[in-house]
Amino acid sequence: MRITRFVATASLAACTHAPAATTTAAASPPAARDTMVTVPGGRIFVRAYGTGDAPAIVAIHGGPGGTSCRMTPLAALARDGRRVILYDQLGSGRSERPTDTTLWRLPRFVQEIDSIRAALGLRKVVVAGFSWGGTVALEYALERPRHGVRAVVLGSPLLSTPRWQADADTLVMGLPPAVRRAIAVADSTGDYDTPAFAAAMDSFAVRHGARTRAAPAPECATVTSNRTIYRHMWGPSEFRSTGTLRTYDREPRLGELRVPVLLLGGEFDEARPPTLARFRRQIPGAELVVIPGAAHALLRDAPDRVTAAIADFLARRVR
């Protein structure tokens, strides 16, 4: 299959094809250098690949409360003088785990990138966020427009909670009747800890979360996420936000972006391609790559396609 790229300008929308996956992801990544970086609230785990002065890719994992250990395919982009930075956000993965819930605020997660850049001396960056990481990447680009951000990559991003929930409603309507009933019961009772709802989540996940059964990742063997942060910021249900992100909406500000932007999504993504196309139309000069056969976990379903699309975008748009 091929990756379809949609490129929008002020006056036209062109449809072309991105190159097929190359050996980008297949090549052995450079050696990693690990460090702990002090951020507001504690210390976080940071892994850096590569050397050089080209704009470094700061990759931001999903969640909230997820980890970066499955983002290692992006390390293959550490070439031609470009560094790739992976990190676990405070509270999850290999980072410290404070229990102060006042730390779980979007502006504080944005400040983590400032701390990483200061510690590693990153003058120019490409912020690349996936899922909730896209929220952080967008916020960083909006709040730090003149701080060396050369481009933004938004993979299956949460950019608007109202749009995300509308997409979830659409996808739930395509589930089997018994699954829809279990979700409706949980929504009406507020009890999301039942076996029926867990089974419904599994049914949704195999369709729209990850369509590839991933082999165990050795680097993830002892790395755990933090469900407490997820529940605090999003809520107990994937389909309905009741946490601090329930009113989050940056769609009205997308037109403020003035750097190259690449949107990535899967054919079966929770972040539905029509919604990503809607976002793309609002961002000057933005590009959209929809990967056939993939769902929300892009780096699990199509790591080579993802890295090839990003490499192509960087080669054409970022200096």
Lookup: tokens for 6: 């949609």
pLDDT of residue 13: 29
Residue 27: band (very low, low, confident or very high) from pLDDT cuts 50, 70, 90? low
Does residue 177 form part of some domain?
Answer: no
Mean of pLDDT values over 199-209: 96
Half-sphere exposure of 227 (CA within 13 A, CB side): 3
Does residue 202 form part of some domain?
Answer: no
Active site residues: 131, 269, 296
d(CA 71, CA 97): 21
Please give the tally of structural domains in the chain. Answer: 1
What's the domain range around 109?
4-172+214-317
Does residue 206 form part of some domain?
Answer: no
Residue 18: band (very low, low, confident or very high) from pLDDT cuts 50, 70, 90? very low
Mean of pLDDT values over 191-195: 95
pLDDT of residue 221: 87
Does residue 209 form part of some domain?
Answer: no
Measured in degrees and rounded to the nearest 5, phi and psi for residue 79 equal: -155, 170
Does residue 204 form part of some domain?
Answer: no
Lookup: tokens for 183: 């979700």
pLDDT of residue 219: 83
* Position 24 pLDDT exceeds 70: no
Q: Which residue has the higher pLDDT, 7 or 121?
A: 121
pLDDT of residue 25: 42
Tell me the pLDDT tens digit for each residue of 89-132: 999 999 999 999 999 999 999 999 999 999 999 999 999 999 99
Mean of pLDDT values over 217-235: 93
In DSSP notation, 223-276 reads ----HHHHHHHT-SBTTB--STTTT-B-GGGGGG--S-EEEEEETT-SS-HHHH
Tell me the pLDDT tens digit for each residue of 297-317: 999 999 999 999 999 999 999
44 neighbors 112 (Cβ within 8 angstroms): yes
Residue 29: band (very low, low, confident or very high) from pLDDT cuts 50, 70, 90? low
d(CA 288, CA 152): 12
User: In CATH, what number is assigned to the domain containing residue 104?
Assistant: 3.40.50.1820
Tell me the pLDDT tens digit for each residue of 125-184: 999 999 999 999 999 999 998 899 999 999 999 999 999 999 999 999 999 999 999 999
d(CA 204, CA 120): 40
pLDDT of residue 298: 97
Tell me the pLDDT tens digit for each residue of 249-300: 999 999 999 999 999 999 999 999 999 999 999 999 999 999 999 999 999 9
Does residue 235 form part of some domain?
Answer: yes
pLDDT of residue 146: 83
The Cβ of residue 31 has, within 10 Å, a number of other Cβ atoms equal to 10
The helix or strand, by DSSP H or E, that contains position 64, with its residue range, turns out to be none
Does residue 73 form part of some domain?
Answer: yes
Measured CA distances, 18 to 27, 127, 303, 317 (Å):
20, 21, 15, 14
d(CA 127, CA 124): 10
pTM of full prediction above 0.85: yes
Lookup: tokens for 108: 């504080």
Does residue 185 form part of some domain?
Answer: no
The Cβ of residue 84 has, within 10 Å, a number of other Cβ atoms equal to 25
